[in-house]
Every structure is written in C-alpha cells, then in structure tokens.
Amino acid sequence: MLIIKTNVMKISTKQMLAILLGISWVIFVGVCIEAGGFICNAFFTLVLNPVGARHFWQEVNLSNLYWYNHGCFFAETLLICIVAVMRAYLFYLIIKILHNKKLDMLQPFNPEVERFILNISRVSLLIGLVSWIGATYTFWLVKQGVAMPDLQHLRLAGADVWLFMGVTLFVIGQIFKRGVEIQTENDLTI
C-alpha cells in the first residue's frame, strides 16, 4: 500500500492580513505618487509652463485640451486629481485599519469596522461619481473636436465598477451596523 504524505501549507487569517497590509502599502505609495504627479503637473502647466500639458503623465498628452481652453484643462485636471486623491485616501483607510489591528476576528462586529466599511463605501461612491462626471466631460470634449487620451490613461475609467463597489459596501455596512447592535446586546446579556 502506498501512503502519500502531503504537507498542506495553511495560511492563517493573521498572515493573510499581513500580506494584504504589505500589498496595500505598495498600492498606497503608487497612488500617492500618481496623485502628487497629477497635482504638480496641473499646477506646473497652469501657473509656470504650458509645456507640462504635453507630458502630463506617462502616455497622457493634454496639450490639445490646454490650447483648446485653459478652463476646460483646469476642470479636466481637477476631476483627475480628485479621483487620484480619493483613491489614495481609500488605501490610507485600508492601511489604517490593518495597521491598527482593529479587525478583531473574535468580535468582528465592532463599531470601528462598521465605521471603516461605511467610510470606504462613501469614498468608493464619490470616486465613482467623480469618475463618471470626468468620463462624461471627456466624451463631451471629444465631441467638441478636442483630441483626448484614452479614459484608461486619464484614470477616469471604471466609474460603474466603483459605484457597484460603493453600493455593495454600503449594504454590507448596514448589515454590520445591525451586527454591532446584536453583538452589543449579546455582550450585555448576563
């Protein structure tokens, strides 16, 4: 008889959260650099030198928009910057809760987690809304004859996904709210 021994590697929740914290830090640094780059380039282009519009960010060339109308350029970059900053804030919230170790698996329904879920749902909804406005505005600019980069490059794509995520998290947040009430009641049942 052949006996095969298998060593199944188990990853505990604690390890998984540590890995997620590491990944979140990497993404957070990335989105912070991106948001900072957008803000600096927008400021540089509008205040110091219009050449910044040509090399706005990686493949993004907004020189056509800048020469079409400075106000439109300001509005477009403002929307891009808001989305970028909100994305950075979203990852800041994730890092904050993972770093402070507020995810208590023994008592998962605590007010801290409830607040966290409702906060990220609000931020996701806001990102979705601003992205949608940005995408609509970009389409309008294209209709006016302005050559615009792809929405993916402008970081304004995926508004529907953000909105879906926001609504889903909001529902989960409401369930958590009730969960906190039930857990508090259970804790105070002698």
Partner 1 sequence: MPIIVNLDVMMAKRKISLNDLSEKVGLTLSNLSILKTGKAKAIRFSTLDAICKVLDCQPADILEYKAEE
Nearer Cβ to partner 1 (105/188): 188
Q: Nearer to partner 1 by C-beta: 8 or 190?
A: 190
Rounded to a whole number of angstroms, the minimum distance from the CB of residue 106 to partner 1 is 17
Cα gap 61→147, rounded to integer Å: 9
Do the beta carbons of residue 63 and residue 54 sit within 8 Å? yes
Instruction: By CB under 8 A, name the binding residues for partner 1.
Output: 184-185, 188-190
Please report how close the Cβ of residue 96 comes to partner 1 at its closest, in angstroms: 30
- Looking at beta carbons only, is 48 or 106 nearer to partner 1? 106
Q: Concatenated DSSP letters for 32-60?
A: HHHHHHHHHHHHIIIII-GGGGTTSBTTB
Q: How far apart are CA 79 and CA 139, in angstroms?
A: 14
Shortest Å distance, C-beta 98 to partner 1: 30
- State the nearest-atom distance from the C-beta of 188 to partner 1, in Å: 4
- Cβ closer to partner 1: 107 or 184? 184
58 φ/ψ angles, rounded to the nearest 5 degrees: 45, -110
